[in-house]
Each structure stands twice: as structure tokens, then as C-alpha cells.
Amino acid sequence: MKKRIITGSILILILTPIFILEPLMPLFLVVMFLFAGMASYEIMTLKKEEHTPIFITVIVIILTLITTAAASLWMSKGLVNDKYSDFFNKVKEYDFFPVLAVAPFVIMGLFITTPKFKIELLARAIISIMYVGLAFASLITIRLMDVSIIVYLFLITILTDTFAYIFGSKFGKTQMSKNISPKKTWEGAIAGTVIATILAGLFGLFLGPASASSNYNSILSIFSSLGTKEKYIQALVMIPLTFFSSIIAQIGDLVGSKLKRSYDIKDFGTIFPGHGGVMDRFDSALFVSMFLVIVFMLISFAFPLSEVIIF
């Protein structure tokens, strides 16, 4: 427990400024791609008793990073405002999509020609490229949109996890899934979702980006004209969004636990002493980030805001 607390404190001290300070945006992007590569490695080496050919792991990691880059560019269209237009114009010079187009043929070619490339390893490669790549692209997109949105995201995941644990430990009686995560209870899950919905929902509704007209904008004002509507209309969007995001956070945690149980391992990795690997720390946030980006894109399409990047 002591090791876990020390590691957690160090992570908070290091990552918080990287995630929220605008001048550190280049460092944030570097860290995200580093984490994506590490997460890909963790997925590819899940089966500890089996030696995965290193060249396959390297190729999958590269394809995962390319997916992250290409998907973050695509997701940012219509969501990220024009303050990053110069950055996107430079990045657009590197066309990642042709590489993605041949990626399936590369993977299937390796599958056919490499004896050790079994069907189970193929499944892990697809999970790495698609899930890890798209999830970290979503996290990058959310940060590029505005710092308040990434704070909103982590408020949801942290509040859900913290209060689910507290209430589950005190009052939990009904196991949520004995075979996947025996310590999780329905009582804790419900409490975590209710508290996260209230607190993170209020943050998202009133503590988005400040403007000349108001210091109490919702995060909707960043990417949608809904942010200019009456507060009760915005609340009708923000409260359900936060509620379902909290549920998605717990689903992400359970999916990670199921994957680890399937391979009879405690943690995905060992990079963070007492906390495991990148996937152990970010599983909930990655699931929620994908969900939020999908919802934001739908809202932005239905209720567009003009001051966003269109390329």
C-alpha cells in the first residue's frame, strides 16, 4: 500500500501539469504517444509464458502509433478550435492514412507467413491497433479541445472509482461480478455513479472555459451551439452524459479485469510500482474518452459551432 501511495503521488505531481498547462502541450503529446506504445507492448506481451516474436511486437506498436496519429487528426475535425490551426496544418503534411490502408495486409501477411503468429496473437494485435490506437487518439482529442474537458473526464473516472470503493467497502453486499472482479459491488457502483454524476456534472455545466460574457460556461460551449442555450437545456445534456460516462468508466475497468483474468495475471505491466502498467491506470479513462468523443462529434454535427477546425 505504501508503494502504491508513493507511486500515485509521484504520478499526480508529474502528470497533472503535463495534462493541464498549455505551454506543456508538446510534452503532453509526447507522453501520450509514449503511453500508447507502452500500452500496445502490454497487450502484445499479455501471454507471459509465450515468447512473442519481437519484430511482430515492434510492427504492431508502430501501427498502433500511426493509428493514434491518424485518428486524432480525424477526430479533431469539427471539435478542436482554431487556436491549433497552425499545428494541424503542419501535421497534415504527414499523410498517415495510406499506411493505415495497407496495415491490414501487413498484419495478415505476417499471420500467414509467421508460424508463431497464432490466431490468439492476431486478436491481440487487432486489439492493440484498434482499441489502444483509437482510445489514445480520443484522449489526445479531448485535451486539444480544452483543458476543462480532460479535467471533466478524469473527475468522472476518479470520483466513480473512489466512491465506488469507499461505499463498496462500507456497505457493499451484492457482488457485481464474482468471476471478474469479486471486490466490486453493485452498492459501490451505484454510489460511485451517483456522486460522479452530481459533482462532475456540475463541473461540466458551470466550470467550462470562461468567456467575456460569462464565467460559468459549460463544456458544451467549446464545440457546440448548445453551449449558448439556457442552462436547463444544457443540463438535460450534461447530466445524462456524465451519468453514462460514469457507467462506461466502470465497464472499462471490468473489461480490463476480464482481460487480465483471462491470462491469469494481476497487472498488465510493472512500469508503475504498486499500480501496474499503463493499461491498469488508464483503462477507465480510455473507455470514457472514446465515448465522449463519439457523443461530442454527434452533438457538434447536430448543433455546430463555427469556431472549429475544418480541414
Q: 25-34, 266-275, 302-311: which has the highest mean pLDDT?
A: 25-34
Q: Does residue 308 lie in a domain region?
A: no
Share of the chain above pLDDT 90, in %: 52
pLDDT in tens, 148-160: 999 999 999 999 9
Q: What is the mean pLDDT of residues 31-48?
A: 93
Among all chains, which residue has been given the C-alpha cell 470520483? 159
- CB-CB neighbours of 24 under 10 Å: 14
**Which range (84-93, 96-105, 165-174) has the least confidence?**
84-93
Position 64 pLDDT exceeds 90: yes
Position 139 pLDDT exceeds 60: yes
Of 283 and 208, the one with more pLDDT: 283
Q: Does residue 250 lie in a domain region?
A: yes
Q: Does residue 179 lie in a domain region?
A: yes
- Rounded to the nearest integer, the mean pLDDT of the chain is 87
Residue 49 has a pLDDT of: 65
pLDDT in tens, 204-260: 999 877 554 565 689 999 899 998 899 999 999 999 999 999 999 999 999 998 988
Q: Does residue 311 lie in a domain region?
A: no
Position 308 pLDDT exceeds 80: no
Q: Does residue 244 lie in a domain region?
A: yes
Q: Does residue 307 lie in a domain region?
A: no
Structural domain for 117, as ranges: 2-302
Residue 89 has a pLDDT of: 61
Residue 202 has a pLDDT of: 95
Residue 311 has a pLDDT of: 46
Position 90 pLDDT exceeds 80: no
Residue 43 has a pLDDT of: 94
Of 281 and 1, the one with more pLDDT: 281
Confidence of residue 65 (pLDDT cuts 50, 70, 90): very high
Q: What is the mean pLDDT of residues 183-194?
A: 93
Q: What is the mean pLDDT of residues 167-187?
A: 85
Q: What is the mean pLDDT of residues 136-146?
A: 94
Residue 9 has a pLDDT of: 86
Per DSSP, the residues of the chain read -HHHHHHHHHHHHHHHHHHH-GGGHHHHHHHHHHHHHHHHHHHHT--TTS---HHHHHHHHHHHHHHHHHHHHHHHTTTS-GGGHHHHHHHTTS--HHHHHHHHHHHHHHHHH-TT--HHHHHHHHIIIIIIHHHHHHHHHHHHH-HHHHHHHHHHHHHHHHHHHHHHHHH--SEEETTTEEEEEHHHHHHHHHHHHHHHHHHHHHSS---SS-S---GGGGTBGGGGS-HHHHHHHHHHHHHHHHHHHHHHHHHHHHHHHHTT-S-S-SSBTTTB-HHHHHHHHHHHHHHHHHHHHHHHHHSB-SSS---
Confidence of residue 186 (pLDDT cuts 50, 70, 90): very high
Position 77 pLDDT exceeds 60: yes
Position 310 pLDDT exceeds 80: no
Number of domains in the chain: 1
